[in-house]
């Protein structure tokens, strides 16, 4: 029997790595993207070559209509959700516009809640399911000049802990991965000197890779993690 996974933000560095791992793990995939069409189409071509059933879904999850747009494009029961969306903003809290605030809150919290709410009944009826949210170490400890990002990621962590308790009797597991500094486009706003200082501050002395996050996703999807739920797994090379 086929099992279907939905990966949001599948066109980014971490999303691409997760998709490739889950394809290898035997999942058929719904790959969500918003702006990076070229990247996700390239990914689909790669997965087609290994006979992975893939569907591309386009939606802006930072808008109020985004979840409805996404759901209209899904035609199979989803057994696994990997919510991998985030907008980075580095700057003072007083410098953020109302639009930037609303977009980040909608993307990271409102859309996560509504999408999960809509797909959960199918999981409950199947009495199986797996939900994994990519959060951040800043959701654990907070970061100056990333106050809103820290706030919404902390909200995601609490969402995971609460939902895990609610759906565990239905055979559904809910966890989060809180990455540290990962070598993706999100770090492009930092200078080489900034990145050098960050690496020096990380006990392992380097940035993480998208593949290292994807490997934890594969573990959480597997039977090897069958008794793990409600957890925030920090993957940061010992940073913070």
**Which ranges of 127-202 would DSSP assign to H, the alpha helix?**
138-141, 147-167, 192-201
Q: Which of 180, 60, 76 is nearest to 110 (CA)?
A: 60
Long-range contacts of the stretch 67-72 (C-beta < 8 A, 24+) = 67/111, 67/114, 67/115, 67/118, 70/8, 70/32, 70/115, 71/115, 71/118, 71/119
Beta bridge partners of 177: 134, 233
Q: Which of 86, 95, 180 is nearest to 138 (CA)?
A: 180
Could you tell me the strand order of the sheet in which 80-83 lies? 54-58, 28-33, 4-7, 80-83, 129-134, 172-179, 232-235
From the candidates 4, 30, 83, 149, which is the catalytic residue?
149
| Pair 183, 147: CB distance under 8 Å | no
**What b/e string do you get for 57-80 counting C-beta neighbours within 10 Å, with b at 16 or more?**
bebbbbbeebbeebbeebeeebbb
**Quick check: is 33 catalytic?**
no
Residues known to be catalytic: 149
């Amino acid at each position: 029997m086929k099992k279907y996974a939905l990966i949001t933000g599948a066109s980014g560095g971490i999303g691409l790595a997760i998709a490739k791992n889950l394809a290898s793990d035997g999942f058929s995939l719904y790959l969500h993207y918003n702006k990076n069409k070229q990247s996700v189409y390239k990914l689909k071509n790669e997965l087609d070559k290994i006979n992975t059933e893939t569907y591309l879904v386009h939606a802006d999850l930072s808008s109020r209509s985004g979840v409805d747009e996404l759901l209209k494009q899904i035609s199979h029961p989803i057994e696994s959700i990997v919510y991998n969306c985030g907008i980075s903003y580095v700057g003072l809290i007083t410098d953020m516009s109302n639009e930037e605030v609303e977009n980040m809150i909608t993307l990271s919290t409102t859309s996560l809640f509504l999408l999960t709410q809509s797909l959960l009944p199918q999981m409950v009826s199947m009495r199986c399911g797996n939900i994994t949210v990519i959060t951040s170490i800043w959701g654990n400890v907070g970061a100056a000049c990333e106050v809103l990002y820290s706030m919404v990621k902390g909200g995601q962590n609490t969402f995971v802990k609460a939902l895990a308790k609610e759906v565990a009797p239905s055979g559904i597991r809910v966890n989060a991965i809180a990455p540290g500094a990962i070598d993706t486009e999100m770090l492009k706003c930092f200078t080489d000197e900034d990145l050098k200082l960050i690496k020096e501050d990380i006990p392992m002395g380097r940035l993480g890779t998208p593949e290292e996050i994807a490997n934890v996703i594969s573990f959480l999807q597997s039977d090897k993690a069958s008794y793990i739920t409600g957890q925030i797994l920090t993957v940061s090379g010992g940073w913070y």
